[in-house]
Amino acid sequence: MVIMIAVAIDAAAGEYPSMAHPVVWIGYIISALDSYFRRLGNAAGGIIFVLSVEALFLALVYAVLDLISFSLILELAVSAYFLKATFSIRGMRQHIMPIIHALEGNDMESARKSLSMVVRRSTEGMDSHMISSAAIETVAEGLVDGVVSPVFYYTFFGVLGAMLYRIANTFDSNIAYKDSRNFIFGRFAAMLDTVLNYVPARLSAFMIYIASSISGIPPASYDIMANARIPDSANAGWPMGAMSNCLAVRLEKPGEYVINDGFARPGASDVRKALRLFTISSLISIFILSIPVMIFIYTVL
């Protein structure tokens, strides 16, 4: 019931307003406490920072859920509220559709501007193919950290499991950079995010293939292992490689990697297809994986 309510909220409203979004609150806490924990030393400070915020926020969520446990309806509603904050299906569409519309209208400036809101890399000077590639990569990676991972940890560990993942992922987005200021300080956050995404990233690749079959897009290749090793990441290559194989398109991040160099360069129509595969894969992760597993856990085990 909780996950179905959360999915309904996502479908109806998308992302929460910033003032009501628990992940935004976590971001504020990270920003507010950042300088304090840096004084404790790069490596030790980074570890203590992540563990402290995880413990603080999870304790607060647990306390809230415990206080309202006298009412099943209230507990369902609040649990769904927190769970919805950890994943986003409609939100991806809201971010990617402006890029697609700009590409279809040949408005490269607007396409670059919309893309810059969802990627870390510089979008200056990108042509339509590079913009499309970056958008498809964003959709593929977003399937993992935006849907499959939080749903995976909710399935086995409940709301606290989903929140633990989302806090770790928020840390990864805030301090896990490879610059001189953050490399050592954010290393633990990066490692934790990598470990937590390890299984979901691989599951997401298979879900993309299933979604491809369902939507009538025959994969051009099933050689996922070769692509998975290309990016400098233990996890990103799995969903990106699967998406590249299913769409038969070349994905590239200049100076870092090229996936399926022999495939055609992508365009706006391929980004649309990627978004369709993202949506179907997200629904598979919830209704074909998560809910049946939870039914098995709570009725059989």
The answer to whether 242 and 208 have CB atoms below 8 angstroms apart is yes
* 264's tokens: 């055609």
SS3 of 78-97: the string is HHHHHHHHHCCCHHHHHHHH
Torsion of CA 168, 171, 173, 176, to 10 degrees: -110
Task: Quote the pLDDT of residue 199.
Answer: 97
What's the whole-model pTM score? 0.94
Task: Quote the pLDDT of residue 178.
Answer: 85
Task: Quote the pLDDT of residue 179.
Answer: 86
Task: Quote the pLDDT of residue 234.
Answer: 92
Task: Quote the pLDDT of residue 93.
Answer: 95
- pLDDT averaged over consecutive 10-residue blocks of the chain (301 residues)? 96 93 95 94 94 97 96 96 97 96 96 94 93 97 97 97 98 91 94 97 96 92 89 94 97 94 96 97 95 91 76
Q: How many H helices and E strands in the chain?
A: 13, 2
Task: Quote the pLDDT of residue 72.
Answer: 95
Task: Quote the pLDDT of residue 300.
Answer: 86
